[in-house]
Structure 1
């Protein structure tokens, strides 16, 4: 089958995670990606882990791309890049705002010669605004947008996010989404555009529930007190007798009732809004009385949105995920791609 992005050419000026993952996903759907790296290669080449001397993360993000090492500050760089720009459909860059302009590859400059070029800029805070030149990483973007406040309590109960939410959810995914929208628009108009993707912006999307509270004019649940951040006994992490975490997410009443029946929670504690701390304490005590293997069997049969937390090594061998083709057998480290299988590179 012809891949949906087959024939499209992408010029990739990105490093580390957000941009390289975005262009890897475009490549998964058939686009040809040429990646420009500084002499000696980009920083991710030196990030652990390594296997056989090769950087695993770098390979996951950049396999299948054509990589060219080039000093963009060299006076001859423009001449070397010109043939690539002549045929490029999409350009993705991840420098601080203004850097590509100073190098002579800014959107205003290139769009005059290449009006159909789709130009995507990924940055922490966007191409404009008081923070546009401010350095940052995933944790900083979450901290400044109210998202981290949902999970970070006192020093004794600090909780670090388990995923690169801003890098991937605020950078890679919105970049791919908007590039595809721009491709559709270009099919109608023949013109490209400049996409300004700010990783911090999407953090407000991830904080949808507290933002709704704000819009409603009520108090905002912070620091692990919200319905989905640990404030409710029916949506919380507990621990079994062997210290394995158990994720209880029995939000709907039918699941909550089923869960309460399975653990034989006293009727006086089933109204979790009345005495949430007492209810949570009883649940914690009950779950801690039996090992996770026993609870796994109970909750799988009970179908009540309660799951024993699996370490990654176990999750990778789960027949469900293996059966869905998330981890294809390849001679290189593969990304568990969200691109639908019908569209992916074989």
Structure 2
């Protein structure tokens, strides 16, 4: 059974005709496969006894986990024990027809269970495999447990976040999310390559490699400049003024000055002190960073004397980039925030953030496909794939 899109008059979706099979848990791999489900692929999520543990992370979405609802809508759930010979045979039947196989078990676990991805591609030449791990499949850290926060720590991300008083964890599962996005890119590349060669290929992504890529600029400052960026809270470590300042009514507005033209306008129209622009402490970008503390006294004096609304009007008139430091409660009511509804396993409706990628084919689409209950599609999938296919179906 293929879950149908709620809009029966929709245009064909980009991944229609693709069968994606996943043995996944937590965030990175589920977020990756969810992207393909949103694009029209059929995604079969294989869950062992007890289900994906992300189902139990919390229960804030009308009894369901926020993480699971976010990263698993539009999929079919199949309860399977891949170490059981009969279930293993069923999985091979499914993979024989599949286009993509994604897994994020512990390094080596999928091979020990009899589903090494290199061997799978040899057996099913058009299959694309994607292995997502914490630190990769080789090296001293290969077997380290790699939850998002731990990778943030190991990669140095927390060392450049926070305030001078202490380190700061990024408040969302950024390494998981980034690894999932990189996996999507890798699979899309493999799909394009298969169109040319007719053969599948292997994609490997790790949370640590993802975080390391993001750390390139701080790393270059350290290796080539001799000094790592310092923790500066809401400020930018290498641009000034670029940070948050409190207003008279207790709000915080963030501003960003990117070039000298903006700097001159900021001093004359916002600070109303054009002489500050030519002060030798502030008349060059690097000088402003060196003398950030002195510069902030001028800005703080102006911001603390005016309300957020007054400053927003002035900043907008001066064409200075700014943004409010919103609470999550304020963000939930943001005029630019788009929602899309989803049906939960018990039939209740919830609202998720709408996809960040919009296409011309999205017109009229206002809901996601449902979130599956644990093992909801097991019976019908077992019936469908009970027999080994006698031919390898072509992909679109």
Q: TM-score, normalised by structure 1?
A: 0.88
Q: What root-mean-square deviation, in Å, do the aligned CA atoms of Structure 1 and Structure 2 show?
A: 2.5
The match for 2:226 among 212, 219, 223 is 219
Q: Is it true that 1:234 corresponds to 2:244 in the alignment?
A: no
* Partners of 2:362 and 2:103 in 1: CA distance: 23
- 1:1-346 paired onto structure 2 within 5 Å: 1-152=11-162, 156-169=165-178, 171-214=179-222, 217-224=224-231, 229-230=236-237, 232-260=239-267, 261-265=269-273, 267=276, 268=279, 270-271=282-283, 272-273=288-289, 275-319=291-335, 321-322=336-337, 326-330=338-342, 331-342=349-360, 346=365
Q: CA deviation at 1:273?
A: 4.8
Report if the CA contact (8 A) 2:255-2:321 is conserved.
yes
Q: Describe the shift of the 1:66–1:227 C-alpha distance in structure 2 as closer, same or farther (beyond 3 A).
A: closer
Asked if 2 retains the 8 angstrom alpha-carbon contact of 1:28 and 1:343, the reply is no
In the TM superposition, residue 200 of structure 1 has moved relative to its aligned partner by: 0.9
Structure 1 unaligned segments of length 5 or more: list them: none
Question: In structure 2, do the counterparts of structure 1 residues 274 and 174 end up closer, same or farther at CA, with 3 Å as the change threshold?
Answer: closer
Per-residue deviation at 1:189? Answer: 0.9
Q: 2-side partners of 1:142 and 1:182: how far apart?
A: 28
Question: Structure 2: how far apart are the matches of 1:218 and 1:53?
Answer: 51
Report if the CA contact (8 A) 1:151-1:222 is conserved.
no
Q: Name the CA shift for 1:129/1:255 in 2 (closer, same or farther; >3 Å).
A: same
| Alpha-carbon offset, residue 168 of structure 1 | 0.9
Shift of 1:18: 0.8
Q: Distance in 2 between matches of 1:274 and 1:230?
A: 10
Change (3 A) 1:145 1:98: same
Seen in structure 2, the aligned counterparts of structure 1 residues 160 and 291 have a Cα distance that, compared at 3 Å, is: farther
Structure 2 runs not aligned, ≥5 long: 1-10, 343-348, 366-396
Residues 1:66 and 1:7: Cα distance change in structure 2 (over 3 Å): same
What is the distance in 2 between the residues matched to 1:184 and 1:129?
30
Note closer, same or farther for the CA distance 1:213–1:54 as it changes in structure 2 (3 Å cut): closer
- CA distance in structure 1 between the aligned counterparts of 2:362 and 2:30, rounded to whole angstroms: 17
Aligned CA distance change for structure 1 residues 148 and 54 (closer, same or farther; 3 Å): closer
Once the two structures are TM-superposed, the CA of residue 91 in structure 1 deviates from its matched residue by 0.6
Structure number with higher relative contact order (C-alpha < 8 Å, ≥ 6 residues apart): 2
Inter-partner Cα distance in structure 2 for 1:192 and 1:343: 28
Runs of 4 or more, structure 1, over 4 Å off, are: 225-228
Instruction: Give the match's secondary structure for 1:51.
Output: coil
CA–CA separation in structure 2 for the residues paired with 1:54 and 1:226: 34
- CA drift at 1:104: 0.8
Cα distance, 1:153 vs structure 2: 5.6
> Aligned partners of 1:234, 1:342: CA distance in 2, in Å?
39
- How far apart are 1:343 and its partner, in Å? 5.6
Q: State the distance in 1 between where 2:207 and 2:183 align.
A: 10
Q: Does the C-alpha gap of structure 1 residues 302 and 146 become closer, same or farther in structure 2, counting only changes over 3 Å? A: same
Give the superposition deviation at 1:342. Answer: 3.4
SS at match of 2:94: helix
In structure 2, C-alpha distance between the alignment counterparts of 1:24 and 1:92, rounded to whole Å: 11
Give me the TM-score of the superposition, normalised by structure 2.
0.78
